[in-house]
Every structure is written in structure tokens, then in C-alpha cells.
Amino acid sequence: MNPSDRSLAVTFLELPATVDGRLHGPQSRDVYSLFRLPARSADLLAAIAKRAGYGNAAALTPALRKGGRLSAEDWQRLRTSDVVGISVITRTAPPSYEAARLIRAANPRATIVFGGPHPSALPEEALQFGDVVVMREGDRTLAELLERLAESRERPHLADVKGIAYKDGGQVVVTPPRPFLTGAELDALPFPVFPRYVLKRITHQTVCTSRGCPFGCEYCSVIENFGRGYRCLSEDRTMELLRHHLAQSRAPIFFADDNFTANRAHTKSLLERCLSEGLTLPAWSCQSRVEAAFDDELLDLMVKTDFSTIMVGFESVNDETLKLWHKSSTLEKNMEAVRRFHAKRISVHGMFVLGSEADTVETIRQTIAFAKGMKLDTAQFFAITPLPGPPLTRKLEEQGCILTRAWHLYDAQHVVVKPARMTAMELQNGIMRAFREFYSPWEGVKRLFARAPQRLENCVIRFLGRRLVRRVAKETRTHRRGLERLNEWIGRVDAMYASSKENLKELRAWIEASREDFSKALDRGRAELAERKARLVAGFEAHLKTLRESLASLGESYHPFCQRFLDELYARFRKEAEAVLVPA
């Protein structure tokens, strides 16, 4: 191929999550399903490829097609593409890998490239289904990778392309990381152009003006993928971006920055610019932290520019949990933040994460009471989810608390971690109870008659949310049954261990009572002690064998967790038995 050839057909694919992890399975639902948003990366990557000279580049986002599936035209394009880039988050990994297998079978010549948070954390896994993984920020890496593929499809030179992983002779090669983009480099990126079918289906458009996060929540994957350096588009470029989006659609704007107000001075200056230049924004919303509530100047500017809803990661009503997760907040501070937002007639969407090592069933009850008592307009209740990469995940791995690696369950609605102070089943039931109580018809009626902004909209959302909760409950039914069986199995293990410990206690008492006789009949005592030890250990091992055989009643995805659970239990028992059974 000519080194200057830019005729590659490049297709970017971003798939929705599905209930069962199958490519053609029913789409998963959550509170965000009440709104339809464009894809976060596919259209931007297509714009980057086109700017680099690859005119035959396109983005496919089947979540916004009727039925949520790839159309016949989509499959035809995938079968004829030279490069297929698939953007993957953890919950979409199974359908993305299945799509890659089907694309490979239909189009063996295609180079399949994975990107996104999940492949960045687990490149070896992704390379079982594709050829290259673009890790972390892929904007600059993509253009360089396409250049190498244009030079040689069969044997591209990739060793000096920073920030990728690829296979070479059966071995996985990971190149040095690429530095995160600077603010100036973010300014240089093109803007996404959305196809007609996307613009017709969305209820909100997404605008992203920054990357990175200066904070350190240990469960969050943002820092892993975008760094702690908070980088913003310049004001001039942000104004261009807003005008670009508004020229395509006047749908409400969701600022998709992980924390739109992380640099409050920058945010205020941008909003003042919108007002001074007469740029009228449609109703807009953003994600933020509680600190924004204590800046009246910022809130006033937000309200003046038709701000509607702030989405706040309160995370917990448990101060101990907030400390564990390095959140610089408290329950009292969270309560005051809600009062301040509501005083400015700003709707509050509260987000909570349940299941920390400090949380109990009572914490769930307190969270529900907080959400209802503080009159949050909308809310989400997440289960702690060990996404690959963050520090908390590594900690949970070391503790052996992760129940399954069935990635399609990693949507924060399915409990996939064994909590420290309650059972997984109690956490799963608690999350569903929180959604049912918050999105109840009675709460909807109360919102209708409340003196609050968007009261009619929030009343409607309560009723829509109620219907959605019923659907989510149906989708999680199989998982709940699996957790019930797992809970019963763990109960059997605990009962067996408690019984063995009691036997050990009795043996300890026998040893103490017989200690004086040991000096007179040492040989006889040792023989009897050895015999009792052998019977005790053999009995424990027999119980373990039965429990291992009982794993057949559980889903296979739980087996690694359960095997490790039993291995650790056996090792602990043997250690305790040896300590007791050493003759004086």
C-alpha cells in the first residue's frame, strides 16, 4: 500500500449494554434510560479520522436505532471496513467481544481496534478478540495508528506508537504510556458531527469541555483513564463547541464532564461569556460535587443561563464510608448542599454508592430516608462495583470479595461484591427497595404539589421511574436467585466451620484437662491425640469435598470466588488445628 494512501474504510462502533451480555440481547435499563444521549466517543473518533484524511470514516451507535440493534446497512459497512474501532466500557465488554468475533468471521482482513476504560485496564483480555488496544486517551494515538495501518495492513510498525497494546508473534506487547492531552491539544480536536438518525432520537445532547479529575475517590476509574490533571477547553474553543452543537440540535444540553465545576473560576467565566455574547442555552444540566453549592456567584450564573439540574455524587450518608472513600464531605455538608441548591430553585439528582466495608442494612434505610427527607428531585442507588483499574478494585481482589467476572453484571444494579457487614443478597434487596420507595406513586403525587422547580416533570419521572424499576427488578431476577443460592451455600460453609471450631474447642479443653497425664502416659497420649487430630481434619476435609461438589448448584461465574473462599477457610482451619494440637 502506498504510504500516503488514505483510502482506509474506518468504522467506529459503540454498543449498548444488554441484560444477558449477548450482542442481540435486550438492552439493559437504568435511570439514565429515561433519556436518550448520543455516544460519548464514536462520533468524535470518526471526526478525528476524517481530519487525518480518512474520508471514509463513520460512527455506528445502534442504541439510538429502532430496536437498539445494528441494521443490515451497519453490518454491510462492518463487513467492508478496513479498520473497526470498538469503544468498550466494562458492562458492554461481552457484546463488544461477541461483535468482534462476528466481524472477524465475516471480514477476516479487518483490523479490530479496542479502546475505552475496560480494554485500557485489561488489554490482554481484549486482545483475545482484537488486534490492537488503544489505552486511555486515544485521540492522538488513533491518528498515528491509522497512519501505520495505511502504510502496511499486514505488518504495520507499531512498536514506537505510544499508548497501545498489540499482539506480536503470540506475545502481548504494551508500549510506553502516552501523556495525557494538554488543554491546547484538547482545543485542537475536531467536533463530532452526529448523523440524522442520532439527532432524531436523542432527548439530550452531550457536551464535554474538560477531562481529568483533581480528586481521589478510590472507587472511580476517571483518574485511571484521564489522570488527575484537570484540563479544560479554552473559553473561545468552548464557545465554538457550544455553537457547533446548537447548530445541530436545540435539545437540552448535558455537560458530560465528570465534574463540570471542578475549576469554578473557569466555569463562571464561561457562563459570563455566554451571557455577554447572547448565547442562549437550552435547559442544561451537569455533574458536580457538593462544593458547588457553597458558591452563590456560581449558582446565580448557572440559573441565569437556564440551568435545570445538578447531578451530585453524595455517595453515602455514612460519614465513615465517606472517609474510607476519601470524600472531602460529611452528611451534614451534603444536607446543607441540597438546601442551598433548592434555595436557588435548582433540581438535584442525587447519586449514592452502597456496600462499603462500613455500610450495613441500616445504612441503606438511612440513605432512603435522606433521599426522601431532603426532597431530592431524582436519585440513583448504586451497588459498589469493582470496575477494573481503580484502587478499591485491587483492594477487593486482595480480600477475595469479588463474586463474579460476568462483566455484563457490572452496571451497579447487580451486586457483584460480598460486602463486609451484610450479605450480598441484603445489599441487592436494599438497592431495589431504595428505588421502589423513592420512585413510588405516592412520592410522585407529593412532588406534584411541592413548591419546587420542574415539579410536573419530576412527578412524571417518578411514575416513569416506577415502571422502570419494575423492569429492572425483572431483569435482575435471575441474578437475585443466584445470590440466594450463593447466600445459602455460604451459610452452609459458615455452619460447618462453626461446628468444626466447636469440636476444636472441645479438643482444647480435653488437652488442658489431660495435660498432667501426658507426662505419665506420653506415648499413649500422643497416639490418641494424633488419632483425634486425624479424625477431626478428615471430617473437615470430607465436609469441604461435599461443599466443592455443591458448587454445581451455583452459576459458573461464582466458582472462582467460592473455590478461593474454601481454600482460604481450609488453610485457616489447618493453621488453627496445628496450633491447638501441639503436645506440651
Higher pLDDT, 155 or 524: 155
User: By mean pLDDT, which of 248-257, 261-270, 450-459 is the weakest?
Assistant: 450-459
Task: Please say whether the beta carbons of 163 and 134 come within 8 A.
Answer: yes
Higher pLDDT, 558 or 5: 558
Compute the average pLDDT of residues 240-251: 96
Pure H helices in 476-558: 477-518, 522-549
pLDDT of residue 520: 62
Burial class (CB in 10 A: 0-12, 13-18, 19+), 88: buried
CATH 3.80.30.20 fits 204-475, yes or no: yes
- Which residues neighbour 139 within 8 Å (Cβ) at sequence distance 6 or greater? 44, 45, 48, 181, 185, 189
Query: Which CATH class, in words, describes the domain spanning 10-174?
Result: alpha beta
With bands split at pLDDT 50, 70 and 90, how would you rate the model's confidence at 4? very low
Residue 111 has pLDDT above 60, yes or no: yes
Domain boundaries, the chain: 10-174, 204-475, 486-580
pLDDT of residue 217: 73
pLDDT of residue 511: 80
Compute the average pLDDT of residues 63-75: 89
Residue 509 has pLDDT above 70, yes or no: yes
pLDDT tens readout for residues 254-308: 999 989 999 999 999 999 999 999 999 999 999 999 999 999 999 999 999 999 9
Residue type, 35: F
pLDDT tens readout for residues 191-220: 999 999 999 999 999 999 999 887 767 777
User: By mean pLDDT, which of 25-34, 289-298, 458-467 is the weakest?
Assistant: 458-467
pLDDT of residue 507: 87
pLDDT of residue 523: 67
Residue 583 has pLDDT above 60, yes or no: no
Name residue 86's beta-bridge partners.
13, 114
pLDDT tens readout for residues 408-417: 999 999 999 9
With bands split at pLDDT 50, 70 and 90, how would you rate the model's confidence at 337? very high
pLDDT of residue 212: 86
With bands split at pLDDT 50, 70 and 90, how would you rate the model's confidence at 451? low
pLDDT tens readout for residues 124-173: 999 999 999 999 999 999 999 999 999 988 889 999 999 999 999 889 99
- Which residues neighbour 116 within 8 Å (Cβ) at sequence distance 6 or greater? 41, 87, 88, 89
Q: Which of 163, 202, 210 is nearest to 182 (CA)?
A: 210
pLDDT of residue 581: 61
pLDDT of residue 450: 66
Task: Please say whether the beta carbons of 315 and 381 come within 8 A.
Answer: no
With bands split at pLDDT 50, 70 and 90, how would you rate the model's confidence at 30? confident
**In the structure grid, which three cell numbers stand for residue 239, read together?**
464557545
Residue 576 has pLDDT above 90, yes or no: no
Compute the average pLDDT of residues 6-24: 93
Region at 128 (left for phi over 0; alpha for psi -120 to 50; beta for the rest): alpha
Residue type, 383: A
**Strand 10-14 versus strand 57-60 pairing type:** parallel
Other Cβ atoms closer than 10 A to 387: 20
With bands split at pLDDT 50, 70 and 90, how would you rate the model's confidence at 325? confident
Residue 6 has pLDDT above 80, yes or no: no
Residue 388 has pLDDT above 70, yes or no: yes
Average pLDDT, the chain: 90
Task: Please say whether the beta carbons of 371 and 328 come within 8 A.
Answer: no
pLDDT of residue 208: 95
Compute the average pLDDT of residues 43-58: 95
**In the structure grid, which three cell numbers stand for residue 391, read together?**
484502587
* Three-class HEC string of 236-279: HHHHHHHHHHHHHCCCCEEECCCCCCCCHHHHHHHHHHHHHCCC
pLDDT of residue 1: 41
Residue 341 has pLDDT above 60, yes or no: yes
Task: Please say whether the beta carbons of 301 and 271 come within 8 A.
Answer: yes
Other Cβ atoms closer than 10 A to 167: 16
Residue 442 has pLDDT above 90, yes or no: no
The span from the CA of 295 to the CA of 144, in Å, is 43
